[in-house]
Each structure stands twice: as structure tokens, then as C-alpha cells.
Amino acid sequence: MPEVLGWGRYEPSRSEAEANDQSYRAGLPPATLDEHYPVGLFAEESLGFPGSPGISGHRPDGTGWSPRFRRIEERVEADCASFVLEDRLAGLELVTTIAVTTGAVITVDAVLTNIGDTPYNLNTLAATLPVPASAAEVLTLSGRWCMEFQMDRRPFIGSTIVENRRGRTSHENAPVVFVGTDGFRESEGHVWGAQLAWSGNYRVTADRMGDGRCYLQLGELLLPGEVQLAPGEAYDMPQVITTCSDNGLTVASGRFLSHLRQSVRPKDLGPRPVNLNTWEAVYFDHDLDRLLRLADAAADVGAERFVLDDGWFGGRRDDSRGLGDWFVSPDAWPTGLNPLIERVTGHGMVFGIWFEPEMVNPDSDLYRLHPDWTLTTDGYEPVLGRGQLVLDFGRSEVRQNMFEQIDKILSNHDIGYVKWDMNRVVVQGSGAEGRAGVRRHVLGLYQLLDDLRAAHPHVEWESCASGGGRIDSGILARTDRVWTSDSNDAADRQLIQRGASLILPPEMMGCHIGPPTSHTTGRTHSLGFRAATALFGHLGIEWNVLTMTDDDRKALREVIDLYKTHRELLHNGVPVRLDHPDNSIVAHGVVDADLTEGLFSVASTATRSSSALTPLVIPWLSNEREYLVEPLFIGGEHPGKDHYPPQWILGGSVMTGGFLGGHGLSMPVFWPERALLVRVTEA
């Protein structure tokens, strides 16, 4: 079994002694095995590994439960190593590939094949990656609906286990883990990170064992009996993506983002258009005249894409019925969608539309025809969520039906964007054979998205799952944007987007300006704060522009113009996060690759503990160059101009990058729940 001896700092010219794996072994303590157990790439219990095995399973007679592989073939190239391993006694073949990609990212792939004569019940296949014992802290992302991607940090003691059993990626736990040296920061310390490219169930572990050795382990969480390999059948494990940094968390996460941009989603989509989504403006009230006026108002403030949300199809007049019947409702739309589409496209905007293809309401034509198409278990009363059941995309006939319904809508209308929602978790989800069906459903989802994208290459696709319930590298390979959270509360969004930025580049992160009072928290925020928060993503509007005051409409136009002016930098630059000693301050920004300009946000999310702010250190610029530093006021607000502000607030100041990265930028005093934008350009 291949064993990772180290990753991170590496010198290619090693002596023969350093290349010997025994050089990496500590002395043997008493009362242990006579040899060090290896922490193999797929750790083997059969050699004494005491943690969670990298592979586990069994045959019907109970054999094959603790395999021990022998390497029979290997191929090592400059940026890739492949190994073929066998255990003839267990009847298993394992082929694994480790590749170094652009931007210091390492990927691990594996295929396990049953070469025996009887079925093999697979329980686990998970990659195991040792990390140095100097890793002292663990960082994971957890949360809930409307508060996703919260950065949880704890000492690296014992085991940290992140499990997801929701059937989709989930609001609660993201499939990513970082570990780092004691006190690692955004720009300081050694950091190692790993994530799993999978949109279903998973298990992510960071473990410090009794002998002090540490490892990360990632793999799909298979439900009981979910994968039974017949003789000759194979299991293709979701890809593990890893990276590391000697210069803090921002560099490590930035390598994940570069990998996503360059290897996973290399297609150039052009400038990210300003979305206007109709949900919070009209909900289910699809009145054509009102929507035509909304389209006019959207174009007037500068929107470039108009997305019609839930309520346009079948018998869908509320959230209790109609899902599964994807035809234009003759009741809500007696003249069809084209009058609205023509008004939207006549303004030069792209028309988008909402689907929730994985769901079905019991009160629907589809369910009445095919009640057996759901991901439920025969003999049990199904558990409803939002009055919905989940369709089983593991069945080809279900995928075919959904393809035909969606394809017909897209083929018969001028639609350039699909918001794909998924609003409930999977509970007791059995497939057609009665076996747990989550894995096959996720693979079916991937297949359907791939087929639809091939049939409609001009359409862009958004992954939405009640907000951030399905965001991972598996779905990001097939979608162009995600809805980061159902919360548009700017104070919460500052924290949500900071955590999401560990795995999401700004151009894929849907960030909308909601109404003054958030419909998920009841909290009221100024336009300037809401706009500054939404600016650092793929900007949209989730606010009824028909009810705005003239002053708000004018200010919103200015915000959208500012976004259009800077979106080349925002969406093609290098995202960075900034440390600040005050926990109420959330600071981040984007710099261009040549370090000639940058745009930064400093947000105050709560009342501060001190009367004045300490300087904001910006270590991501060239130390030798001089920069003009000036504020950008947004939404008609001028935070920091009162109360004896620093000079740069009043008219701009020239400073060196070394000063900004050393002493830092002196901060003004401004109110809680406000944000200050700082523009830096080479002088």
C-alpha cells in the first residue's frame, strides 16, 4: 500500500537516506507491535493501523473483512503516480492515482474492483493522508439553514469527525477540513487542507493517534448494504482534493479556488451578470402585469438577468402541490411565459427560471401516475419535508422523465439560466431494489445535469438547496453558480461568505441585496451595508424594486454601476481574507495577480469592545511599491468620515505596501453593522 510520508515543504534533491521511508520512523515504544504500523493511503487494519480503516467490507460468509494489499504494478511520472494493488485472498483489486495539478493541489482517486467469485459488501473506502504532528488546530465548516459555513476551530486532540447523512451535502457540515500549526492565521503558519468532491453522504476525520501521529481521512459515507459489488463490479470513489501552505490559510484555500477555476470549471463564462430573482418580490403571486413592471424596473436599475422563481408550473399556487409537473401553468399563465420573456429579453436581459426537479408533491399528476418513483422504503409511511418527497434519480426512467420535461421547457422558450433547487433531505431513502439509494441518486443527479448541459450548452446552471445545502466540488463541476444561503441578512452573510470563501471563488458565490428588513431574521440594515456585503460575490437583487423609494432606486443604480466597474477584479483576482484582533470586524478583499490594485471590505458586525479600531494589516501587496489608498462610499453612506477620521478617508493617501503589511491601515470609527470599502491602486 502506498504511504504518504509527507506533503508540503519538499526539496527535490534528497539524499538516499532521506528517500528511505525508514528515515521517517520514530523509535518503537514498549508494549507495542514489533514494527511500526504504516498509515497507508488506504490504511489497513491488517497491518495494525488502530484508527478507522481506509477500506472495510466483507463477503456473505464474513471473509475479506480485513484485506492486506500487495503492489503488483506502479507507474510514476512527473506529476502523477498510479498503483495497482491486489489481495487475492480477499478477492479485491485497488487502483489508486495521486496527481499533482496546477497550483499545488494534489488529487487522490481510487477504484476498487471485486475480483472474487462472490459478492463483496463494501462499507468504507476512504483516503488516509498523514499530516505532521506539528498540526495543533483543526478547522471545519458547520452551521444550519440560513447560517451555513461557520468556521469552527478547535485544538487537534484526539478525533474530530464530520459526518453527513442528509443525502445532499447539507447545511450542517461541509466536506472539508483544514489543520495547521498552533495559532495559524490567514497569512501565517503551516496549513494542510483536504476536501471531498461529493454531493451526498460523507465522513471526514482528523485524528491524532496515541503514538502522536496524525492523519486526515475522507470518503463517502456508505449506508448499510448500499454498495454490494458483484464479481467483476467496481466502486469508483469520490475524488479527494488536498493542498497545503507555508503562509497561512488564505494561501491554502486560494489553491483550492485556483484548482476549481483552472481544472474543474475552466470554461470562461464572461462577466457575471447582475441577477434579479423574483422570489422575495412576488413569492407565488404570478401576476403578468406586475411581473412585466418588475422586469421594466429591473432593467432600469441595471439588472442583466431576470429569474422567475417558484410558482410558474402545474398546479403550483402554494408550496403544497405541483412539484413534478413541469409544464407552464395555464391558470397562472394563460398566455404562456413568452410575453414576460419577450419583455425581459427586449431589455437586453437574460431570462432565467426556477426548477426543483428532484422533488415531487403527493398532490401532483406525476406522483399520481408514478407513486413508486420516490426515494422511500416500501411498507413504511414516508416522512414528508415541506410537503415533498424525493424522486429517485437512481432510476433511469425517472431521469428520462425529468430530462424530457426540462428539455421541453428550455427548447420552447428563450431561457439562458436555470436555478436548480433541492429543498429537503433524504430520509429512509431506498432505491428500486430496496437497498439504500442515496449514492445512486447522487450519481443519477450528476448524469442528468451532464445530459442537460450537453443538450443546452448556452444555459447556465445554479445549484441551490434551500440556500447552501449542496455546495461541494462534485456539484461545482456541473454548475456555474451557487446560492450561498437563503439568508440575505448582511451581518450573517458576512460570516457565511467568509467561511464559504474557503472553497468558493467570488464569481460562483451568489450574493444578493435583499430588502431593508431581512425576511429570515427580521433585522434591518442600511443599503450601504447590504450592498458592500453582496459586492464580493456574484451580485444579485432579491428586493422588490417596484416598492423602492426614488432615493433607494438611485442608490441601487450606483451600487450596480460600481459592481460592473470592478467585477473584472472581483471575479478574476486573488481573493484574500484579512486578520483583525477585534472579533466584531470581518475584513477581506481581492487583489489582482500583478499586485497593482485591490479592493477590500472592512465590516463591523457587532458593537466593539474598544472605542477605536486597531489598524488593518494588509499583507497581500508588494512591499516596495507605493499605493494610493482611498475609500469607496457605497449606497449613499460615508462611514468613518465623522469623528476625526484618518487622512486617507478624506482624500486618499499614498502608502507603501510594506507599511500596509506592517503597521497597517489606520481605521476610522464607524457604527456597528456598517461596512467600509477601501480601494488600493499602484501610485
Which amino acid is located at 89 in the chain? L
What per-residue confidence (pLDDT) applies to 14? 62
Q: Are 499 and 176 in contact (CB under 8 A)?
A: no
**Count of Cβ atoms closer than 10 Å to residue 226 Cβ:** 21
Position 284 pLDDT exceeds 90: yes
What per-residue confidence (pLDDT) applies to 194? 98
576-682 is classed in which CATH architecture?
Sandwich (2.60)
Q: Are 495 and 586 in contact (CB under 8 A)?
A: yes
What per-residue confidence (pLDDT) applies to 19? 66
What per-residue confidence (pLDDT) applies to 15? 64
486 is catalytic: yes
Look at 17-21, 35-39, 326-330, 482-486 and tell me which has the smallest mean pLDDT: 17-21
Mean pLDDT (whole number) for 300-305: 98
3-state secondary structure (DSSP) of residue 68: coil
Q: Would 16-264 and 576-682 be classified into the same CATH topology?
A: no
Q: What is the pLDDT of residues 335-388, one digit of tens each?
A: 999 999 999 999 999 999 999 999 999 999 999 999 999 999 999 999 999 999
SS3 labels along 425-471: CCCCCECCCCCECHHHHHHHHHHHHHHHHHHCCCCEEEECECCECCC
Which residue is catalytic, options 207, 421, 472, 552?
Answer: 421
- Residue 87: which residues within 8 A CB-CB, separation 6 or more? 64, 67, 68, 69, 70
Position 555 pLDDT exceeds 60: yes
16-264 is classed in which CATH architecture?
Distorted Sandwich (2.70)
Which residue is catalytic, options 87, 310, 472, 486?
Answer: 486
Among 553, 534, 527, 420, residue whose Cα is nearest residue 488: 534
Mean pLDDT (whole number) for 410-414: 98
What per-residue confidence (pLDDT) applies to 80? 94
Q: Please measure the distance between the N-terminal and C-terminal CA atoms of the chain and give it in whole angstroms.
A: 56
d(CA 452, CA 429): 25
Position 17 pLDDT exceeds 90: no
Mean pLDDT (whole number) for 512-525: 95
Topology of domain 275-357+399-418+456-566 in CATH is: TIM Barrel (3.20.20)
Mean pLDDT (whole number) for 294-308: 98
- Residue 15: which residues within 8 A CB-CB, separation 6 or more? none
**Domain ranges (residues) in the chain:** 16-264, 275-357+399-418+456-566, 576-682
Among 142, 160, 151, residue whose Cα is nearest residue 205: 160
Name beta bridge partners: 235. 112
3-state secondary structure (DSSP) of residue 70: strand
Mean pLDDT (whole number) for 435-451: 98
What per-residue confidence (pLDDT) applies to 268? 77
Mean pLDDT (whole number) for 215-240: 98
Position 466 pLDDT exceeds 70: yes
- Residue 512: which residues within 8 A CB-CB, separation 6 or more? 275, 277, 488, 534, 539, 540, 541, 542, 543
Q: Are 306 and 297 in contact (CB under 8 A)?
A: no
Mean pLDDT (whole number) for 620-647: 91
Percent of the chain topping pLDDT 90? 89
Q: What is the pLDDT of residues 93-116, one digit of tens each?
A: 999 999 998 778 999 999 999 999
What per-residue confidence (pLDDT) applies to 30? 86
Q: Are 98 and 81 in contact (CB under 8 A)?
A: yes
Among 8, 80, 79, residue whose Cα is nearest residue 244: 8
**Count of Cβ atoms closer than 10 Å to residue 94 Cβ:** 24
d(CA 633, CA 613): 19
What per-residue confidence (pLDDT) applies to 382? 96
Position 629 pLDDT exceeds 90: yes
